[in-house]
Each structure stands twice: as C-alpha cells, then as structure tokens.
Structure 1
Amino acid sequence: MEILDSAFMQRALLAALLVGITAPAVGIHLVQRRQALMGDGIGHVAMTGVGLGFLLSTSPVWMATLVSIVGAVLMELIRAWGRTRGDIALAMLFYGGMAGGVLLVNLSETGSTGNLSSYLFGSLSTVSQEDLTAIALLAGFVVLVSLGLRRQLFAISQDEEFARVTGLPVRALNLLVAVTAAVTVSVAMRVVGLLLVSALMVVPVAAAQQLTRSFRATFTVSVAIGVAVALTGTATSYYQDVPPGATIVLLAIGVFVLMTAAAVPLSRLRARRAEATAAAEAADCAIGLPPTRRSGDDVKI
C-alpha cells in the first residue's frame, strides 16, 4: 500500500492506533464520573508543557506529560475540596495553561506559532521516532492501569461512597484516574491535537453506550470505535490533505449519529422481548406453574 511506503505515515498510523486504544479506555471512566470535559481542561494545561519543552529545548511530549499530570492532580484536588469557588479556580487553571503555552513558545528560540499549531490540532508529518517512543511508553502505562485496575476504577466511577465503604482507597484511585487522563492527553496530542483530544476520549464512549448495556461491552466497543476512527481519519488526512485531528473527531461524531439511529429500533426490539417474557411468565403463574428459565437449554421448573 502506498500509505505504508512513507516512514512518517508508518509512525503516524502507529501513533493513531495507540491513541485510538488509550483515549476511550480512559474516557469511559470520565464519562461515568460526569467529567467529560476534563480532558479538554488538561489539554489547555498541557500547552504550558509544550511551551516549556520548546523553551528548554527538551521533548515537548515528555514536558507536556509532566505539566499535565500536575494540572490534573490540581483539578482533582479542587474537585474534591473546592466549594463555591471551585469552578473559578478551574477556569483560571485552564486559561492560564493556554496563555502560558503561547507565551513560552514565543519566548523560545526553536518554537513558533506553526509549531504550536501542530500540537493544538495534530500533524502527521511531525510525528518523530522520539515522539512515537514516548507515545508507546505512555500508552503502555495507560493500558496497564485501565486493565489491571478495571474493577477498582469501575467501583469509584459508579459510586464513590460505596467504594469508600468497601475499603477502596478512593482518593488515591481518583488521583490515578486524573494522572491517567493527563498521560492520555500527552499520548494523543501529536495525532488529534490538544484542543480536540477530549472529543476522542468522550465521543466513542457515548456512541458505544447507545447499543451496549454493560460496562465491559461499552469498554470493548468504545475502544474498537476509537481505533477505527483514528486509523481511518489518519489515512483520510494523508489522501485528502485535511487536518487529522478534525477528521478523526468528525468521523467519531458520525459513528455516534449512526449508533444513535440504530439504537431506536434496537430498544424497541428489547422492549418487545421483555414484554413477551413477562407475558409468558404471567401465563405460567396463571396455571399454577413457577416462572421458567428460558435460555435455549432444557427448561427447568
């Protein structure tokens, strides 16, 4: 295939694959916790890290990771302890991160508005081997946390109070979710861009929720959607010369619209099956039989 002949496209597709896996894997916890816009806020803060990377002549990806982790921890602490002025503190953190990034890039000798734009909206040609190595290491961390602690993270996402009663370290797990979200932003910024990464963390999860009924199924389907739109959007960007981040996000929104449309007849079918099952059980009770187990195996009474 022509697209695989170019070394920069090989790196871009590998980065897109990793982004498609990690973004929904973390985003599902943010959606469950009603923190869908947290990724957007972390993206603003990460801009300061990008600016510091240019100013100090170090890797913008690693510097953005460090700064976004600090910002994500601050956000979680503000959420946990903040009261009436918590939203004001978060707003200042978001806007301060964006302003700091722009200022630091302009103060640096190697940075420019064009360089910053590639981090804001994603760029295929600028994914270097160093960037890909950093993305792979960070994505590995995200996957290990998401799969290794999936039960604990699910518990705090559903009900923090119940998780606390069962003895789980809720505050530590909340901070871990924040840190994982920050790392995911750093993973995705070279492909999707800091301003659009939140959409890839949220939209595939929202699309999967239209058809799935369990956490595990939602997790699996959302990751599949994330991988599909990330790879398709990257390939489309190569052939049509369009921004990769915007293309990926619009594809994800298109999948959401299609799944929402498909969810209507599916929900009706499920309702009819439930009514049929209820009617059959009522008929059994009417003739003095206990409810039967209708699973396709031998019916046990």
Structure 2
Amino acid sequence: MNTDKQEKLGFEAIEPEFNACFFPHEQVERLWSGGRWCEGPAWFPAHRLLVWSDIPNNRMLSFDERNNVTGIYRAPSNHANGNTVDSQGRLISCEHLGRRVIRQEHDGHLTVIADRWQGKRLNSPNDVVVATDGAIWFTDPDYGILSDYEGDKADSEIGCCQVYRVDPISGQVDCVADDFVKPNGLAFSRDGKKLYIADTGASHDPDGPKHIRIFDVIDGGKRLGKSRIFAECTVGLFDGFRVDRNDRLWISAGDGIHVYNHNGALIGKLRLPETVANLQFGGIKGNILYICATRSLYCCRLAICG
C-alpha cells in the first residue's frame, strides 16, 4: 500500500493504480442542489439525459447534459428510489409507495413488472439492474414501509427482505437470495457471471451487516450460487454502486465514493462534502461520473469509462 496517501481535488489514491482513473486537473462539480435524499441515477444515452429520484420529496428529476438544465421528470413519483435503463432504452424504477417495480414504455405509460411474491405485497423495492438476457433483478428491503418519510408506514406482508429475479419471458418473480438483513444496491460484473449485492442491515442494528457480497450467477443466469463478502464499509454504509470497464467497483459511502478493484482491494476514494447514496456513469463516452449525494447532484469527468 502507498503509505503516503495522495489527495488531489477530492481524489485520494490509496493504491497507485487509482491514479490512472482521474486527471490531476479535474475536480468534482456540484450541478444542482435542493433535494432531501437523492438516489437512483439512470442515464439515457440517446437523449444525453440523467434521471434520478428525490425520494422524500416524492419526485424524479432530470439533468440535460446538452444545456445543463435540471427539471422535474415525474411528480409525484410514488417515492421512487432506484432506477435503470434496459437495452431498449426504457426506464425501470423501484417505487416505495407503490411497493412495486415499474417500466416506463416509449409512449410514456407505465407497466407493472413486479408488485407481489407468492401473492404477498413486496416491501419497498430499492435498487434494480437488468441482466444481458433481459431478466430484471431487484432488492426489496423494508426502508419504504418503516416510516412515512419515504413511503407509507406498514407491516411487511412477506416478513423478510429478499432479492428477486423477474423472468424476461414469463414475468415470473423468483426469490434468488433470502439471507440478507436489508439488501440494497446491486450490480453485475462486466461478463455477467458475478452479482454484487450490498447489505445495509447496520442502518437499524449496530451489529448488522455493512458489506457487499459477491455471488456466482448460475443455472444459465437464473439463480445465485455461492457467495462471499467482497468488501466491508469503513465509513458509513455502502449503498448504490457501479462497475467500470476494468471491473472496478465505484461504491457510495459515508465520506464519498470508495473504489475497489476486482480483487476486493480498496484502491482509492473520491471525497465529497455530502453522504453519497448512488452514482452512474454517463456522457457520450461513459466517462462522466454522476453522483447523487444527499441533497445534491455532482459530476466528475474521469480518465476511465463505466
């Protein structure tokens, strides 16, 4: 490890390999502020548009990269949280209030992807990704039903917090992981053979988990195999995260973004003045990192691509 930590304009290189991820003259820019808990950024390449959620304010916002204009994308949003864009350019969102996962079709109408498992209402879907086969994977902790702040306070019908897969052909919702306390952010490795999932159980239990686990994706992409702990969070909790083209994980944390290589080594940090909830690579070349941090939207141009 490099014992003389190098800090440059918000970048802290813990290992030398992190220096190749950023330009010395670049810095983090705040693009917008005025939210309460910004989350779930999703990038539309065709429109050069970033969409994200402001959960407590029950709205979704958009940032147009072409003119630097921020506006309302959807309000009310059913306290939407995590978002992603599928291979057909459609927005997929997790709703706390609706307790469901929805898809916005090209004509604007909303399709319900999942709202129940075995006949019982979901808790409050949190984050979502789409696999290469079109299957939709999402986490379902109970944050949205614990209080009226990010949804409606309610009892869990399922009685636990799980991870699910929605079959792209039949639409069947299957539980793929049932041993989480509060499953949160998730992302596939570049080859789709691994799935990373955060557990933020420590948010309500000091002795609860605050780590990311890595799973083998098996059975033709339909199930999860063995898992191990990939990384433990050292500041706050891990939340949303993304994987870059070199299989590095860029992970939200209490003091900014923690960057790990594929071997699970912390190689650097991108420090911010607000707690980071989630992030997304965007821009024409995929080298702009958009960051949702508490009340604000930030960005930084990197030397690598997502």
More strand by share: 2
TM above 0.5, yes or no, is no
**Taking CA–CA contacts closer than 8 Å with sequence separation of 6 or more, which of the two structures ends up with the larger relative contact order?**
1
When normalised by structure 1's length, the TM-score is: 0.23
When normalised by structure 2's length, the TM-score is: 0.23
Higher Cα radius of gyration: 1
More helix by share: 1
